[in-house]
Amino acid sequence: MTILVLMGPPGAGKGTQAEVLADRLGVPAISTGDIFRTQVADGTALGQQAKGYLDAGEYVPDSVTNAMIRERLCADDTRAGFLLDGYPRTLEQVAVLDDLLAGQRRFVDGVVVLEVQADELVARLLHRAAEANRSDDNEPVIRHRLKVYAEQTQPLIDVYAARGLVTTIDGTGDTAQVSQRVLAAANTLQAG
């Protein structure tokens, strides 16, 4: 059983590394951003609720996000563990996740934080903007997302660090190098 959280600012490479790590550990990677984007693309009620927030680089309200994650974490494929990419992002989400897992007699095993300098983040996201066509990858929204992360999500690192769960790794370099660091961190956290 492994439950890991991947944290880091927009552009740090959480999504890419979550896929690699999930594959290696044989557990699902659960990305709240991906789930929201799929819902928006499918035009579901949840997607319609979320779209404005995504486009503006704002967090979707906790009530909406928490309801979605509650449902997702009850699915059978999470029994052997899972990896969270992009959740929790607020203190309230931390509390909801704690509560949800306690109800399942489970807990977070570790938090891997990907660290990348701000100017590198902006450069990466602008590069992706040119390729990937994400509605929130334009410079003003990118800058806003970084600010929202610093204000609302960065403080969560201290909360998890106080529980002895955090390993911070350097998110720069090529993808394979970063994957090596993430895998090493995950192994240590699992063993601990």
87 counts as binding ligand ADP under rule CB under 6 A? yes
Matching residue, tokens 């996740």: 97
Is the distance from CB of 36 to CB of 60 less than 8 angstroms?
Answer: yes
Nearest-approach distance from CB 11 to ligand ADP, in angstroms: 6
- Whole-angstrom Cα distance, residue 149 to residue 155? 9
Kindly tell me which residue out of 13, 86, 110, 171 binds ligand ADP, with binding defined by CB under 6 A: 86
What is the dihedral sign for C-alpha 155, 148, 18, 114? negative
- Whole-angstrom Cα distance, residue 107 to residue 89? 17
| Those residues with Cβ within 8 angstroms of residue 13's Cβ, 6 or more apart along the chain or in another chain | 114, 116, 124, 171, 175, 178
Query: H-helix or E-strand containing 81?
Result: strand 81-85
- Whole-angstrom Cα distance, residue 50 to residue 180? 34
* Span from 39-47, 82-90, 112-120, 177-185 in contact with ligand ADP (CB under 6 A): 82-90
Kindly tell me which residue out of 57, 81, 110, 171 binds ligand ADP, with binding defined by CB under 6 A: 57
Of residues 53 and 190, the one with the C-beta less far from ligand ADP: 53
* Span from 39-47, 52-60, 99-107, 158-166 in contact with ligand ADP (CB under 6 A): 52-60
Residues annotated in a binding site: 11-16, 32, 37, 58-60, 86-89, 93, 128, 134, 145, 173
Is 163 among the catalytic positions? no
Nearest-approach distance from CB 43 to ligand ADP, in angstroms: 17
Positions marked active-site: 14, 89, 128, 134, 145
Q: Tell me which residues touch ligand ADP (CB under 6 A).
A: 10-11, 32-33, 36, 53-54, 57-60, 65, 86-87, 89, 93, 136, 145
